[in-house]
Amino acid sequence: YMLVKQHDRVGRMADTLEYSDVGFPLDRFEPALIDEIRRFAPSQLEIGDRDGNGEMEVVVKHVYIERRMIPLNIYLQEAFDMLAHPESPAQARRAKDQLVHAVVEYGNAIKDMVAANIFPGDMLWKNFGVTLNGKVVFYDYDEIEYITDCNFRRVPEPRNEEDEMSGEVWYSVGPKDVFPETFGPFLLGNPQVREAFMAHHADLLDAAFWQHHKERIQAGQMLDVFPYEEAQRFRHDGRAAHGPHTTHF
């Protein structure tokens, strides 16, 4: 978390605010949630009338707070549900647009992080969120690495039929090895998601893409990351841009 806080987040990594002894009204918690906190983090939980006013509180000793977002997997599931049972053709179109927007923004978020020398590590949909403005942001930092610390590889060709049919990894894997072509089975099981992803971000499944950016960063070349879509940026004369051929800052 400190790495992310001190790094250029390029608008794609949620900032975290660290707090101690945070109190919440006890009546906001289901008993099952209290039991879960007691089971997994008993030293972080205290329940009592801290202020002496007769109101019971749940006090969390140490907590990171992030902005509230819709988890990307839930955002996608909402689109899947609407597509499966649309109430009208217009709703079906909105659901399709929501799905495509989510997938395109997901890939854009990863590419923006790559530009800032960040490999997210765990790229599952659930580790990304959608803001109120529809922007996709990464928020699970347990497995992040610097791009320059990773070794991006292609999966070797099988040596024989036994290798090809094996359910186990038969080639050597180092602690920093990453095989981008293996991302697909974990991310692209839904045909509509796969179609949108391959149309816009197929290069994320190619080790050459990642290796190129690693070498670029190692050479001292840093890319600009713009927080707004091209049509929303300003021109030199201060007016909003209206087309793809406008010169921007």
Predicted confidence band of residue 1 (pLDDT cuts 50, 70, 90): low
Predicted confidence band of residue 66 (pLDDT cuts 50, 70, 90): confident
* Token pair in block for residue 233: 């940026």
| CA diameter of the chain | 73
Average pLDDT over residues 224-249: 56
Give catalytic status of residue 81 as yes or no.
no
Query: 117 with 98: CB under 8 angstroms?
Result: no
What are the strands, taking DSSP E only, across 10-110? 17-25, 45-48, 57-65, 70-71
Please choose, from the candidates 67, 66, 54, 60, the residue with its C-alpha nearest in 3D space to the C-alpha of residue 34. Answer: 60
pLDDT digits (tens, 9 = 90+) for 25-38: 999 999 999 999 99
Cα 8 from chain centroid (whole Å): 16
Strand partners, 23: 59
- Say whether pLDDT at 230 is over 80: no
**pTM flag (> 0.75):** yes
Please tell me whether residue 182 adopts helix, strand or coil conformation: helix
Strand partners, 63: 19
pLDDT digits (tens, 9 = 90+) for 128-160: 999 988 899 998 878 888 999 999 988 877 776
Distance CA 246, CA 232 (A): 11
Higher pLDDT, 200 or 166: 200
- Say whether pLDDT at 247 is over 50: no
Please calculate the CA angle 142-146-152 and round it to the nearest 5 degrees.
Answer: 105
- The secondary element (H helix, E strand) that includes residue 145 is strand 145-146
List the catalytic residue out of 15, 140, 163, 203.
15
pLDDT digits (tens, 9 = 90+) for 84-123: 988 999 999 999 999 999 999 999 999 988 988 989 988 9
Q: Output the pLDDT for position 75.
A: 96
Percentage of the chain surpassing pLDDT 70? 83
